[in-house]
Amino acid sequence: MPEHKKRVALCGVILESNAFSPIATEADFREALYVTGAEMVREARQPVSILPREMAAFVQAMDATGAWQPVPLLLTGCPPWGPIEGDFFRACVADIVAGLVAAGPLDGVYIANHGAMVATDNGDPDGTLMAAIRDAVGGDVAVIATLDLHANLSQTMVGATDAIIGYQTNPHVDQVQRGEEAAMLMRRMFAGMAPAQHMIRLPLVPPSTTLLTAAGPYGELIDYGQRRERNRLGVWQFCFLGYRQERPVGRRHRARGCRQGRPVGERDRHPGLVQPHRLHPRHDFHRGRRGHRREG
Ligand SMILES: [Zn+2]
């Protein structure tokens, strides 16, 4: 019997919103990135793609790891700007949901978003999109998203997805690895693995100048979190900085983790997750990079 080709929908609405900047209009998105249908897959398979690198990497990693059928819907994005126009955002969600319904039975959905978007009339459009996708496909379909580490993670996003994979580098240079990781995780879910994910919100808003990842407390946290996966503890941990200009009011530092392999009970509710303020007191983030010496 021929192998059932796993059918995976592809989509994304990418924006990092600064509440003090002008509204990001449909024209802004269409000028920067707006691809639908077969063009998305064709572009993803180019040696040099116009698509966000995580989407191209996801498609190429799925191509390299077995039979599958991409179901490309809508991928649009705009460079960092103000809130997305509400009408345009709702139209994007409606297009994606209509595409999911029209596609028939699916095995997975991959979402490439930024995660720090606001709309003119919605404080968490990333969460709204993910929840609409989950509603459309139901609970048995693998839904995996990748986000920038400046994402403002919400419980809605975490509740609507099986796994959220965040960049681990700032400046960002690991989009390809994260797209490949999303594909590998989807393959593992197709083989029966069932991830559980948790979000821990920390009462900490570190200044962005101390949040580079090559050295210092933030880099050490990311390295520590990733070692837990390398040591086969089955825990992936991502630390999201949040983007404090998303809204004029205060932001909070967020961290989340994904424990793979089995559901996690109430007793180990935060299963082995590193809480940054336990490893590094708040002042480590505030006084600058620990142990850093100016060179040259
Ligand atoms: Zn970023």
Summarised one tens digit per residue, pLDDT across range 234-257 is 667 677 766 665 554 333 334 443
Examine the pLDDT at 37 and tell me if it is beyond 60.
yes
- CATH of 6-286 among 3.30.70.520, 3.40.1710.10, 3.40.50.360, 3.90.79.10: 3.40.50.360
Distance between Cα 16 and ligand 1 center (Å): 8
The domain locations on the chain are 6-286
Distance between Cα 66 and ligand 1 center (Å): 31
Axis crossing angle, helix 53-64 with helix 175-190, rounded to the nearest 10:
40
Distance between Cα 150 and ligand 1 center (Å): 4
Examine the pLDDT at 73 and tell me if it is beyond 60.
yes
What does each C-alpha distance from 120 to 87, 124, 153, 250 come to in angstroms?
A: 9, 10, 18, 18
Distance between Cα 266 and ligand 1 center (Å): 33
Q: What is the pLDDT of residues 176-223, one digit of tens each?
A: 999 999 999 999 999 999 998 988 877 777 777 777 888 887 788 787
Distance between Cα 169 and ligand 1 center (Å): 9
Examine the pLDDT at 283 and tell me if it is beyond 80.
no
Q: Which residue type sits at 201? A: R
β-strand pairing of 196-202 with 108-112: unpaired
